[in-house]
């Protein structure tokens, strides 16, 4: 599909009555949700990467308190954290996207990953399997997510991650996966400030950001730097309610955290030769002229930012 066609369709769906429900059905039939097992497997892999990075800082998921920004259609990360023994996982979404059928499919699919969850988190596999059995039984009985996870996972939507109802120092980790690239820059700053407030001293903020042109996933004739051809005014036409892209570069997400007073413990941003070549072979709009090519070409970053202060008890 030509990327402009997708952009135009989503633009219309974003403003028409019933557009959200129709967009979901199109995603299930033709989009990313059409191959659910593949999508779930990719999310589990992303969770594994996040936990691996967090464990390298000394954090133990067991008994930790976590806050997720951006639940999405189904709560893979919160459920995996629950199975790994987290004390509490609060997950916020600006819009209520969670689908009961996908929640059930997610739980069923996670059975294949119980050993991986144990190996990744360091939790006892027997405990994980016992939690999973209780979760499966509770969902089969018709319990909601919070009760089915024994009060661990709390889903809040619509909810604003820039103004949460949480107390100061209430969580050990704030995290997101492929969310920040869809948030306006000023809202990211507000999220960072709120994270500072709710994180315990020494708490961690982990974000995995896919800051390449998402239209490249549906149009193989373009690559992930394609959207750098356009000015903000031109690009505004292609942004829409379902695929807003802020076009921020990887270093900006990290730099804004530093400016907010966080200490950076991890920054995976890397200039890859393929991206440098793609950038060199395309016209770039002058508004990006001040960004060095080695930074402009980066299309993904995982980073961990620590709130300064003594480490919380959940971190050893």
What are the pLDDT digits (tens) for 171-203?
A: 999 999 999 999 999 999 999 999 999 999 999
Mean per-residue pLDDT, 7-23 = 85
Judged against a pLDDT cut of 50, whether residue 312 lies above it is answered with: no
Question: Using H for helix, E for strand and C for coil, what is the string for the chain?
Answer: CCHHHHHHHHHHHCCCCCHHHHHHHHHHHCCHHHCHHHHHHHHHHHHHHHHHHHHHCCECCCCCEEEEECCCCCCHHHHHHHHCCCCEEEEECCCCCCCHHHHHHHHHHHHHHHHHHHHHHCCCHHHHHHHHHHHHHHHHCCCCHHHHCCCCEEEECCCCCCCCCCCCCCEEEEEEECCHHHCCHHHHHHHHHHHHHHEEEEEEEEEEEECCCHHHHCCCCCCCCHHHHCCHHHHHCCCCCCCCCCCCCHHHHHHHHHHCCCEEEEECCCCCHHHHHHHHCCCCCHHHCCCCHHHHCCCEEEEEEECCCCCCCCEC
Among 13-22, 52-61, 247-256, which stretch is predicted with the lowest mean pLDDT? 13-22
What are the pLDDT digits (tens) for 26-84?
A: 888 778 788 999 999 999 999 999 999 999 999 999 999 999 999 999 999 999 999 99
pLDDT at residue 20 in the model: 86
The per-residue pLDDT of the chain, averaged, comes to 94
Judged against a pLDDT cut of 80, whether residue 313 lies above it is answered with: no
Structure tokens at 137: 């039984």
pLDDT category, 264, cuts 50, 70, 90?
Answer: very high
Question: Which domains, and CATH codes, for the chain?
Answer: 35-211+248-306 (3.40.50.150)
Among 14-28, 191-205, 210-224, which stretch is predicted with the lowest mean pLDDT? 14-28
pLDDT at residue 296 in the model: 98
pLDDT at residue 22 in the model: 83
């Amino acid at each position: 599909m030509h990327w402009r066609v997708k952009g135009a369709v989503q633009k219309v769906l974003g403003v028409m009555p019933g557009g959200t429900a129709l967009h979901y059905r199109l995603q299930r039939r033709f989009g990313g949700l059409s191959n659910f097992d593949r999508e779930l497997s990719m999310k589990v892999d992303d969770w594994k990467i996040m936990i691996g990075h967090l464990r390298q800082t000394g954090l133990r998921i067991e008994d930790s308190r976590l806050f997720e920004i951006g639940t999405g259609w189904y709560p893979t990360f919160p459920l995996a954290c629950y199975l790994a023994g987290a004390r509490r996982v609060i997950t916020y979404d600006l819009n209520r996207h969670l689908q009961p059928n996908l929640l059930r499919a997610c739980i069923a699919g996670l059975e294949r990953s119980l050993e991986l969850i144990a190996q990744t988190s360091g939790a006892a596999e027997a405990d994980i399997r016992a939690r999973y059995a209780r979760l499966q039984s509770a969902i089969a009985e018709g319990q909601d997510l919070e009760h089915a996870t024994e009060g661990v996972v709390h889903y809040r939507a619509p909810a604003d991650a820039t103004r949460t109802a949480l107390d100061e120092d209430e969580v050990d980790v704030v995290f997101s996966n492929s969310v920040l690239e869809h948030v306006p820059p000023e809202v990211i700053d507000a999220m960072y400030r709120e994270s500072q407030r709710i994180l315990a001293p020494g708490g961690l903020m982990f974000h995995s950001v896919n800051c390449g042109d998402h239209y490249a996933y549906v149009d193989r004739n373009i690559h992930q730097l394609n959207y750098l051809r356009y000015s903000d005014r031109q690009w505004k036409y292609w942004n829409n309610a379902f695929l807003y892209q802020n076009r921020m570069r990887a270093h900006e997400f990290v730099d804004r955290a530093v400016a907010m007073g966080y200490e950076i413990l991890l920054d995976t941003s890397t200039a890859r030769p393929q991206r440098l070549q793609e950038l060199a072979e395309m016209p770039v709009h002058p508004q990006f002229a001040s960004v060095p090519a080695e930074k402009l070409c980066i299309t993904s970053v995982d980073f961990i930012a620590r709130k300064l202060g003594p480490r919380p008890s959940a971190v050893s």
